[in-house]
Structure 1
C-alpha cells in the first residue's frame, strides 16, 4: 500500500498537488542516493515499512516526472515573464487609450480650439488700412551710395464699383471665387490647408476667397505666418457680416496689384488697354482678372511663350466659368477673341537704363523674400516690394554702367538705320557685366530705352545661347573624366571628326542626330582646341553624347542655367535652350572663378524698417574641379587669339596685352548672336536678339547693319571689347591650374604632327587652294597645294587697328 493510500483522501490530494507543482514535495534526491539509500515509506505507527516490488516503479517514475516538470517550470517562468510584460504593456495602453478617453480628448481639444477662436473673434477688430497700403516710395542707390532714382507715387486711382461694367465685375468673381455672392467670406478648407502648409514649411498657401484676398491686400500683409492667416480668417468673417458683397468686391479690385506698376482696376485698364475702367469690355476684363493670379508671369508684353500659353488658358477658364454661372451667353462667348494688351509705358523717372536696373533689383529682392519664407509666392513678394518703404543699394558701378551704355551706342545702335534697312528696327541688345570674385553685377544694359522697350534684354531667357554653350560641354567632359567612344580621355588635344552632318554615335549605334556645321563646312580630324576655336557643331554634339547629356545639363544647371524642363538629347549641345545674358555671365564667371559657383547679384544691401532681408552669398560651392574650369579658360583664350573673335577682340588696339578668354555664338536662322568673354577680373555677356518691332516674335537678323549675317564675333564682340578694354585691369593675369589649352600652348607656333594642328587658319577648307582667303586682313603666307589650309600659318596683324570696330566680313561667318 502506498503512502497516499495509507494516509487516505487527504494524502492523495496532497500527492496530486505535489505532482502539479513539479512532481515533488521537496527537492528531488540525486540518482546516487536513489541507488544506495532508497527511502522506505513509514507506516501508520511511524515504523519503517518494507517497500514492496509494486511500489518501487511508482516512486522512480514520479522522480523522473519531477525532473521533467522542473525543467518545464524553469522555461515557463521565462516565458511567463515576457508574456506577462507584454500583457502588462498592452494592458497599460488599453487603460490609457480607452475609446472614452480618446473621444474625451478630441472633444476637449475642439472645445479649447473653439474657445480660442471665440476669444480671437472678440479681441480682433477690423483695422484701418495697413501701412503698406499707404503711399510710399522705394529709394535706389548706386554702389557708392549716390542716388539712382526713387519709384515715385503709387499708380492707383479708386473707382466706384458702379463705374465698372457688371459683366466685368463678374469676370473677377468667375476667376477667383465663384461662390463669392453666397459664401460667408472664408474658405475653411483652403485656410486650414494654408495653415498646415505654413506650419510644415511647405510655403504654399491654400485657396482663399475674394474677401480673404481683400483683407490680405488692404488690412494685413502678404507675410507667410500663422498669425497673419488667423487674423485674415477672423477679419474676413467680420467683414462679410458687416459689409456688403459690393463693398468687398470694390475693395478687392481697387487694391489688387496687376503688374506694370498698376494698383487697382482703373490703373490696370489704362496700363494694359489705354481705357478707363468703365470702358472695359468683357474680354479685357477677363484678361485683367486672369492677370491677378501671376502679374509678373502673365503680362503679355514680357511673358515667355509658356506664360502666354498659361494666361490664355486662364482667360478661357474665366469666360467658361461665366457661362457656367449664367453670367455670359454661350454664343457670345464662342465669338470672343483674346484681347492682346498694348505695349507698356514706363513710370516717370525710369527712362534710359534706370527702369531695367530697378526691375532687376525688384525681381531679385522678391525672389529672396520667397526664399527666406517671408511670403509664399513671387507675385505676393513683388507686391510687397512695390508697396514701398525699401532703400535698395545696387552693385552697379556708375563708371562701368556709363561705359557699357556708351559701348552699345557706339558699336551698335549708332550703326543701325531702320530707314535704310527695315531689319535694323528688329535688333535688340542686352548685356550683363559681373565681378567673378564677388558675383556683383557692376553694369547692365537692358535695351535702347526703358520707355521704348519695356522688356529687359539683359534678363530675358527666350533666345538660344547657341555656341556659347559649348564651354559647358567641355567643362562637364573634363570634370567627369569622360572618354571618347574609343576609350580615350577627352582633353584639349583629343582628336574628333569635324565632318559636317556626321552622325553622332553611342556604343556603336547612331543616335539619329547629325548636326550641320556653319556653312556646311567640313573640318576632318581636328583637336578639341581647334573645334572650340572654329565652333564646330559636329565635334561638340559627339562630345555631349560621350559625356552623357544628363551630366552636361546637370553641370549647366549648377552653373546657373535653367535646364529643369529640358530633355537630355544631343540637340541641346547646339545651345537650343533659352538663356539670358545674366545667366551666361554667371556661367562664365564660374569658369573665371576656377569652378566655384558664381550667382550674379545686383543688390548690395537692403533696408526696410519693418522687414529684414538676408542676402545669400553669391559665391557658392565648387561646381567643377579647378583643373577642369581652368582648362576651359585656357581653351577659350584660343577663340580670342585664333578663332571667331580675333578680329574684334585680339587685334583691338585698346587691348593693351590684357588676358582674354571668350566664346562667340550665332543661333539657327540668325535670330541671336552672342559674345561672352572675360578677363581675370571681369566677365561680360553680350547678346543680340532679332525681335519683330510690331509682332514681338523672334525674327532673323540677316542684313542688319548692312552685313549678310550678324555673328557673335561682330557687333556683340565689338561691344564687349570696347567696354571691357576701357574698364578692366590691364595687369590682371589668369592663374591657371592646367597644362592644356591655348593659354599654355601658344597657338602661333605650328607643330609638325600626323594629326591636324590645333590652330587652323582663318578660313579652313577641305580643299587646298593657292588663292589667298577672303578677309578684311591681308593674306598670310601663301598656302601651297602640298598641305591643306587647315595647317596653320603665322597669324599676321590686322592692317588697320580697330579704334571703333566694324562688323567683319566672311572670316567670322564660320561661327555657330
Structure 2
C-alpha cells in the first residue's frame, strides 16, 4: 500500500466523526427542548390556580347614552338569567348542545389540540384569536377570564381548562356551561333561552327540535338568527340545525326516523314580547346603535353583557323635537296607514343627531328612516353637481317644453307643461323634467346618467345594485327606483352644506369598555371625510337650491326665516292596491298614484330629510291623504320639516351659506323666460301619444307646485317584498317616474 493511500484513510474517518458529533448535538438539544417544554408545562400547570368565578358576569350591562354622555337612551337587553340544576335539564337538551359545540366533551382533556394549533397559527400570522374550541374552554372564558383576545389570555385559558377538566366532574362543568352561555335575545343559559325563543322556561318541556334550534343559535346568535328573513341566513340556520340533529343521531339520542322528520324545517318560534325598553320611537335608535356596534366588530355577547358605555350621536333635545314634528304635524286623514321617515345630520361631521323611523318599534320594526325609497326629483341636485363638474353653467339653456324624445321615448313634464327654453337655474327652481332629460341624456354625453350616479355616490348616497343597474337609465335623474333613505338623503345634502366635504354618516360617538378604556371614538372617521366636490361647485348647488326655496317648489320652507336650501321630490307609479287592475287594463293606471313624497332641506348647521309613504309595505297611494291634486313634496313634507327645524335651530346663529364666485353667478345672456303654458292630456293617455295630440291651453299659468307625470309602460309588476325589519323596499319602476 502506498504512503498516499495510508494518509487518506484517517481523513475519511475524521469526517464521519464530525457528522456523528453534529447529529448527537442536534438530538441532544432536541430532547433537551422536549424535556424543558414538558418541565415548563408541568410547572405552569402546577402553579396555575382556578380563579374565583367572574363576579362581574352578572352585572356587566351595556348602557347607551345620548350625545351628551349623561342622559341614558336605554340598554339593549334585559339580561335574563335563571340557573337550573343539571338534573332538571333532560338528556336531549344536553346532547343537543354537545352535538353542536363539542362532540368529544365527555372524553377530551378539556382542550382541543387542533384548536391549539389553530390559535398558534393565528398568533404567528398576527391575526385575531378565536374563541375556545371545547365546551370547557368556552366555559372557562365566560366564567373565569375576560373577553380580551390576546395570546396570554388564550394560553391561560388552556391551562385553566385542562386543570378544571381534571379537578372537576364533567357534569358540573356542563351544568355551569348550560346556565351561563349566551343564546342571544338577552338570554344567558338554556332556561332563559327557552323562555326567550319558545316562551318555555322549563328545559324539561323543550322538544328535540326546539333544543336543536337553541343549540344552533348559541354558536353565533347574529349569523344564526332564526328570525332573519334573508334567504342566505335562513339556509345557513337550517344547515347548522341539521348538523346538530345529525350529531344527536350519531350519539343515539334520536333515531334515523326522528332525524328525517325533524330535519325538514326548523321549529316555529314563540317569542315573548320584546322588553318595553324598545317601546316607542326610541326603539329605532337603540336598534341602529346596536347594528353599528356589530359593524364595528362587537359580537352580540359583548354588546349585551360586555359592560360597555356607548355614547351615540343622537341629541336628546333634537330627538324630542323630531318626534313631536312627526307625530303632530301631519295629515289628519287615516294616519294609521301613513308613514313618515325623518333624519337630521350635522354637516361636515356625519353625526346623525335625530331620527324618526316610526311611532313604535315594538309594533313595527320597519324603520322608515333607513328604508330606501324612490327619491324622485330630490335626485336632481346630484345632476346639477354632475353638470357643473362636466363644464356646464347655471346659465346654459335646455328644452323646457314637453314632451322630449329620449332614446325613442317621449318623456314629459308634470301636467305636460311647456316652459320654453330655460337655463339650469330655472330648471332646478321649477323642477322641469324635460330640461334635466335634455341636460343629462343629450348634453352630457352617452354616460350622462352614469355621471349623475357618480355625483350621488360622492355626496354620500350608498352604492347599491339598484343604482348601478340604472347607470344607463335615461330617467335616473328623476330617481325612479329605490336609491336612498331619508338618512342617506340628509347626509348627501349635508355634503353641499359643508362646502363639498362628505363625511360618513354614523350613530356612535364613543364606546368605553368595562375597564374605562375608550375603544372607539369619532377619530376613526377623520380620514374618511373627503372633499367630494370643489367648494365652488358646492356653493353653486346651494345657490340653485336656495332659489327653490325663494321662488320655486319649496317656497313654504322660507317660513324658517333664515337661509335655507332644499329640493322637493315626488315619485309616481302604480300603488300596490291598483296593480292587479293595471295589469288587466294593459297599463291604464300607470303614473296615477303618488308613491313617495320628499322634502330635503338644509341650513349650514343642519340637514334634514322628510319622506312620506303609505300602506303596510310603503307602496300604497299617498294622494288620498292630501286635499291637493297629489301629495306634493312642497306641502306636508315641508310642513313636517318646519315643525322640526324651527325648534331644532332655536338659539343657533342666523348663518348664511358661503357665496359663489361673482363670475359664476353673473347672468349670461339667455333667452327670455316664457311663462309656462299647460297642456292637459287625457288621464289614461300613454306617454307615447304623438306630439300632435289635440291640447287645451288654459289662460292661467300653473303654480310652482309640482304634479306627477305618467311613466312609460313596462310589462307587469313583480310582487312587492314584505320581508323583515330591513327588507321592505319598493319594486323597480317604469322608465319615467312622476317627479316634482
Same fold (TM over 0.5): yes
**Which one scores higher on RCO, CA 8 angstroms, separation ≥ 6?**
2
1:625 aligns to what?
Answer: 533
Give the counterpart of 1:398 among 299, 306, 316.
316
- The offset of 1:134, in angstroms, is 1.9
Shift of 1:133: 1.0
Matches of 1:236 and 1:544 in 2, distance apart? 68
Secondary structure, counterpart of 1:658 in structure 2: coil
- 1:404 Cα deviation from its structure 2 partner: 0.3
Q: Select the residue among 558, 564, 569 that pairs with 1:659.
A: 564
Give the counterpart of 1:431 among 337, 342, 363. Answer: 342
Q: 1:566 to 1:178 in 2, by over 3 A?
A: farther
Report what 1:616 is aligned to: 522
Conservation of the 8 A alpha-carbon contact between 1:519 and 1:814: yes
Following superposition of structure 1 onto structure 2, how do residues 524-543 of structure 1 map, counting pairs within 5 Å?
A: 530=427, 533=431
How far the C-alpha of 1:400 sits from its partner, in A, is 1.5
Equivalence for 2:697: 770
* Structure-2 change in CA distance of 1:362 and 1:595 (3 Å): same
2:671 to 730, 752, 759: 752
Aligned equivalents of 1:407, 1:102: Cα separation in 2 = 81
The residue number in structure 2 matching 1:263 is: 188
In 1: Cα distance, 2:556 partner to 2:410 partner: 31
Once the 2 structures are TM-superposed, how far is the Cα of residue 307 of structure 1 from its aligned partner? Answer: 4.2
Structure 1 counterpart SS, 2:610: strand
Q: Distance in 1 between matches of 2:167 and 2:410?
A: 69
Q: Secondary structure at the match of 1:654?
A: helix
Distance 1:178 1:518 in 2: 68
What residue is the counterpart of 1:290 in the other structure? Answer: 216
Find the counterpart in structure 1 of residue 578 from structure 2.
none
Match in the other structure for 1:727: 648
C-alpha distance after superposition, 1:297-327 (max 9, x if no partner): 5545566565455434544544455556654
Cα 1:628–1:653 shift into 2, 3 Å: closer
Structure 1 gap segments, 5+ residues each: 1-93, 371-377, 419-423, 483-487, 505-513, 693-697, 781-811
Pair 1:443 & 2:365 matched = no
Deviation at 1:549, TM superposition (A): 5.0
Q: CA deviation at 1:448?
A: 0.7
User: Among residues 693, 706, 710, which one is paired with 2:625 in the alignment?
Assistant: 706
What displacement does 1:226 show? 1.4
Could you tell me which runs of 5 or more consecutive residues in structure 2 were left unpaired when the two chains were aligned.
1-17, 576-594, 682-690, 708-735
Please, which of 181, 198, 201 is the counterpart of residue 273 of structure 1?
198
Deviations 1:636-660 (A, max 9, x none): 44655676xx3xx422573224312
- 2:344 alignment partner, SS class: strand
Q: After superposition, what is the alpha-carbon deviation per residue over 1:352-411, rounded to whole angstroms, capped at 9, x for unaligned?
A: 33333334444445544x3xxxxxxx32xx422322544444443333111100111023
SS at match of 2:165: helix
Change (3 A) 1:164 1:700: farther
Alignment partners' CA distance in 2, 1:178 and 1:396: 46
Aligned counterparts of 1:761 and 1:120: Cα–Cα separation in 2 = 91
Aligned residue number for residue 47 of structure 2: 123
Query: Does structure 2 retain, via aligned residues, the 8 Å contact 1:662–1:675?
Result: yes
- Residues 8-61 of structure 1 deviation map (CA, whole Å, 9 limit, x = unaligned): xxxxxxxxxxxxxxxxxxxxxxxxxxxxxxxxxxxxxxxxxxxxxxxxxxxxxx
* 1:600 corresponding residue in structure 2: 505
Counterpart in 1 of 2:286? 358
Q: Is the 8 A contact 1:266 1:277 kept in 2?
A: yes
SS at match of 1:434: strand
Shift of the 170–443 alpha-carbon distance from structure 1 to 2, 3 Å rule, reads: same
Which of 131, 134, 157 is equivalent to 1:209? 134
Matches within 5 A, 1:449-468: 449-454=360-365, 456-458=367-369, 460=370, 463-464=372-373, 466-467=375-376
Q: Does residue 1:680 correspond to 2:604, yes or no? A: yes
Deviates more, 1:680-689 or 1:494-503: 494-503
Checking the alignment, whether the CA contact within 8 Å between 1:434 and 1:443 is kept in structure 2 is yes
Structure 1 residues 551 and 718: alpha-carbon distance in aligned structure 2, compared to 1, 3 A threshold = closer
Superposed displacement of residue 435, structure 1: 1.4
- In 2, Cα distance between equivalents of 1:515 and 1:157: 68
Say whether the 8 Å CA contact 1:492–1:740 is kept in structure 2. Answer: no
SS in structure 1 at match of 2:341: strand
2:589 maps to none
TM-score with structure 1 setting the length: 0.64
What SS class does the counterpart of residue 289 from structure 1 fall into? helix
CA shift for structure 1 position 661: 2.0
RMSD: 5.0
Counterpart of 1:197 in structure 2 is 122
Distance change >3 Å, CA 813–CA 557, structure 1 → 2:
closer
Q: Structure 1 residues 686, 548: closer, same or farther in 2, change over 3 A?
A: closer
Would you say how many aligned residue pairs link Structure 1 and Structure 2? 641
Q: Determine helix, strand or coil for the equivalent of 1:613.
A: strand
SS at structure 2 position matched to 1:202: coil
Q: How does 1:161-172 map to 2 (within 5 A)?
A: 161-172=86-97
**CA distance in 1 between partners of 2:63 and 2:679 (Å):** 53
Q: Report the Cα distance in structure 1 between the residues aligned to 2:596 and 2:464, rounded to whole angstroms.
A: 19
Q: Mapping of 1:65-144 within 5 angstroms?
A: 113-144=37-68
